[in-house]
C-alpha cells in the first residue's frame, strides 16, 4: 500500500511505493512521490521528508501559481518546471472557467461569479473537460513528456511531482505512471481517490468561507473534489485517442520504448 506521510508542511504528500502491480510486483518505495504545493516546506519540521533524499522536483503548476506561491526545494534538489496548463488558461484570470483547477482561491472568492459561471452542473462538466485536456492539449503533453523523460534519466533519484492541491494535474500524472508500471485501473482509481481526506482537510477553510458567504456547496465540491467521473473522463479520452497507455506515452507524449524500460527497471520492485 502507498504511504500517506504525516507531513505538517506539505499538503497531500504521498509515496506511491508499495502499490501492487501485475505479476506479483509492486512500486519500489521512496522513488515516486506526489504532493500539493511546496510553498510551506520546512524539512526541520518534517524530518521524515528530509530523510527521503528527494533529488528532483517536477512542478506542474502555472507561472502565476509559481509566482504567487513559490515552492521551497529540499536541500540539493533540482527543479523541473512542467506547466501542464500553460496557454490553457488566461493568465489574467478574468473568469472562473479560465482558471480551474489552477486558480482555486479566485474561483471560490466570489460566490456570485461562481454561480454565474459554474452553477447548474457546469463546474463538474468543466472539470471533466479539463481532465480530457490533460490528454489532448499540446501544453499538457509537453509537460507530461518532461515528467516522464526526467523520470527516465539515470541520475533522476527520488522524484517528487506536484501541483497546487496535488489532486488533478498530479492525479493524472500518478495515473499515467502507475498504468505504465503495470497497475490495473481499479488500483489506479483507488490511489486517485485515496487523496480525498487530505484534500478535504487542506481546503476545508476555503470551502467554509465560500459557503458562509452564500456559495453553493456543490460548486465547491466539484472544484475541490476528487471524483471518479474526472479520472474516467481522462481515461476515456486516452483510450479514444490512443487505445492504451503504452501508445499514449509513446505517440502522445513522445517517450521512446527504451525510456519506458528504464522507468520500469528502476521503479518496479
Q: pTM, whole model, 2 decimals?
A: 0.92
Confidence band for 59, pLDDT divided at 50, 70 and 90: very high
* Tens of pLDDT, residues 17-43: 999 999 889 999 999 999 999 999 999
- CATH number for the domain running over 3-267: 3.90.190.10
Task: Report the 3 state secondary structure along the chain.
Answer: CCEECCCCCCCCCEECCCCEECCCEEECCCCEEEECCCCCCCCCCCHHHHCCCCCEEEECCCHHHHHHCCCCCCCCCEEEECCCCCCCCCCCCCCHHHCCCCCHHHHCCCHHHHHHHHCCCHHHHHHHHHHHHHHHCHHHHHHHHHHHHHHCCCCCCCEEEECCCCCCHHHHHHHHHHHHHCCCHHHHHHHHHCCHHHHHHHHHHHHHHHHHCCCCHHHHHHHHCCCHHHHHHHHHHHHHHHCCHHHHHHHHCCCCHHHHHHHHHHHEC
Where is pLDDT greater, at 104 or 72?
72
The domains of the chain are located at 3-267
User: Tens digits of per-residue pLDDT, 118-172?
Assistant: 899 999 999 999 999 999 999 999 999 999 999 999 999 999 999 999 999 999 9
Catalytic residues: 163
Amino acid at each position: 500500500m502507498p504511504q500517506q506521510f504525516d507531513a505538517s508542511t506539505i499538503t497531500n504528500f504521498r509515496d506511491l511505493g508499495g502499490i501492487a502491480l501485475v505479476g506479483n510486483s509492486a512500486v519500489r518505495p521512496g522513488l515516486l512521490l506526489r504532493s500539493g504545493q511546496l510553498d510551506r516546506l520546512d524539512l526541520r519540521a518534517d524530518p521524515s521528508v528530509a530523510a527521503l533524499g528527494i533529488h528532483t522536483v517536477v512542478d506542474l503548476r502555472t507561472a502565476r501559481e509559481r509566482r504567487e506561491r513559490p515552492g521551497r526545494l529540499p536541500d540539493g534538489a533540482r527543479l523541473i518546471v512542467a506547466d501542464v496548463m500553460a496557454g490553457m488558461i488566461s493568465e489574467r484570470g478574468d473568469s472562473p472557467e479560465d482558471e480551474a483547477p489552477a486558480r482555486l482561491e479566485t474561483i471560490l472568492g466570489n460566490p456570485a461569479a461562481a454561480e454565474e459561471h459554474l452553477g447548474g452542473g457546469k463546474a463538474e462538466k468543466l472539470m471533466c473537460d479539463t481532465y480530457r485536456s490533460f490528454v489532448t492539449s499540446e501544453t499538457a503533453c509537453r509537460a507530461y513528456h518532461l515528467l516522464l523523460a526526467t523520470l527516465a534519466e539515470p541520475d533522476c533519484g527520488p522524484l517528487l511531482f506536484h501541483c497546487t492541491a496535488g489532486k488533478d494535474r498530479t492525479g493524472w500524472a500518478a495515473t499515467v505512471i502507475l498504468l505504465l508500471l503495470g497497475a490495473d485501473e481499479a488500483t489506479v482509481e483507488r490511489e486517485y481517490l485515496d487523496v480525498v481526506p487530505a484534500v478535504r482537510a487542506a481546503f476545508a477553510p476555503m470551502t467554509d468561507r465560500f459557503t458562509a458567504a452564500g456559495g453553493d456547496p456543490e460548486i465547491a465540491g466539484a472544484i475541490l473534489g476528487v471524483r471518479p467521473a474526472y479520472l474516467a473522463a481522462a481515461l476515456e479520452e486516452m483510450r479514444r485517442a490512443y487505445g492504451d497507455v503504452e501508445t499514449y506515452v509513446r505517440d502522445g507524449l513522445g517517450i521512446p520504448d527504451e525510456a519506458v524500460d528504464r522507468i520500469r527497471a528502476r521503479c518496479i520492485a
